[in-house]
Structure 1
């Protein structure tokens, strides 16, 4: 996975810079998100791995499946990926594009797991507190996990904040050597 990300990084940076230059980060981001999901599908992966299918035809597969007409520069980008036999990198390119966009907009998406459903007011207060702490705009995705007993677990990328009762009990058990 890390190797794919390393290979995808220059392509993602190039397409992000092109989208930024054309003031089309929104539309290109949506198109790349869809194309990335499509490229991650097992059936599409098999098609992309088929050595008997011309690379240009593989790129056209993505042109044919999008509801709207792709911008010419994005179509050219897909053709360049096909020519370089790098269409399989599209899921990683899409993920990196979203990361670059979040960095530019200073936003972060966080997954919040709680033992009980959070009210809208609680979600807003948590988002505001995290925004102040991280100095970024925070968007929360909430989920209920009854095994937490109480408290909250916040995840984003490699950052995990475990303020759950289950997490505190686990730390206490470890400290006691059990």
Structure 2
């Protein structure tokens, strides 16, 4: 079985448990914290995958460093992955859990590209407008500053892109001019 399929199974099992206990949002936030640690600390990944470090040592390290930050459910999931030598699927499992949790909560993730950082108020306004377009009750907005943009914004929700940048508008005018239409 592929690693992605295994990651999906673990994510789905954790999702069902979290949903049963009404802890979807909390568990998702905790998993995103773990993912941030994994992505920003290569030494952490090296420790978890090192063959000479025993499972007991890895589990003790996790308990020592994450007990205060994680709920029992999330902590036990990490310990189970270590026990079963499946730490290689940690990030794909977290990504799948996030996808399942967002779907259950009617939430979508939006990446908003802008030439300058957006204020909290602007992000909330964009979330409100584009949530309706995406047919979701709420959008989680991530602002990405792209200095190549002249002005306007580009919003990506899943596989849909709403491009309201000046560059896109200029490109559209250029295509119309070349085609000879107004």
What residue in structure 1 maps to residue 43 of structure 2?
43
What residue in structure 2 maps to residue 54 of structure 1?
54
More divergent stretch after superposition (120-129 vs 130-139): 120-129
Give 5+ residue unaligned stretches, structure 1. none
More divergent stretch after superposition (140-149 vs 38-47): 140-149
Task: Note if contact 2:113-2:153 (Cα within 8 Å) is conserved in structure 1.
Answer: yes
What residue in structure 2 maps to residue 15 of structure 1?
14
The alignment covers a number of residue pairs equal to 175
Q: In the aligned structure 2, how far is the partner of 1:67 from the partner of 1:31? A: 11
Judged with a 3 Å threshold, the aligned counterparts in structure 2 of structure 1 residues 6 and 160 are, in CA distance, closer, same or farther, namely farther
What residue in structure 2 maps to residue 114 of structure 1?
114
Q: Aligned runs of 1:131-146 on 2, under 5 Å?
A: 131-136=131-136, 137-146=138-147
Q: In the aligned structure 2, how far is the partner of 1:29 from the partner of 1:61? A: 22
Q: Aligned runs of 1:1-178 on 2, under 5 Å?
A: 4-40=3-39, 41-66=41-66, 68=68, 70-115=70-115, 123-136=123-136, 137-170=138-171, 176=178
Deviations 1:19-68 (A, max 9, x none): 11122223322332222222332101111221111123223322211251
Q: In the aligned structure 1, how far is the partner of 2:36 from the partner of 2:117? A: 29
Normalised by the length of structure 1, the TM-score is 0.78
Q: In the aligned structure 2, how far is the partner of 1:6 from the partner of 1:171? A: 42
Normalised by the length of structure 2, the TM-score is 0.77
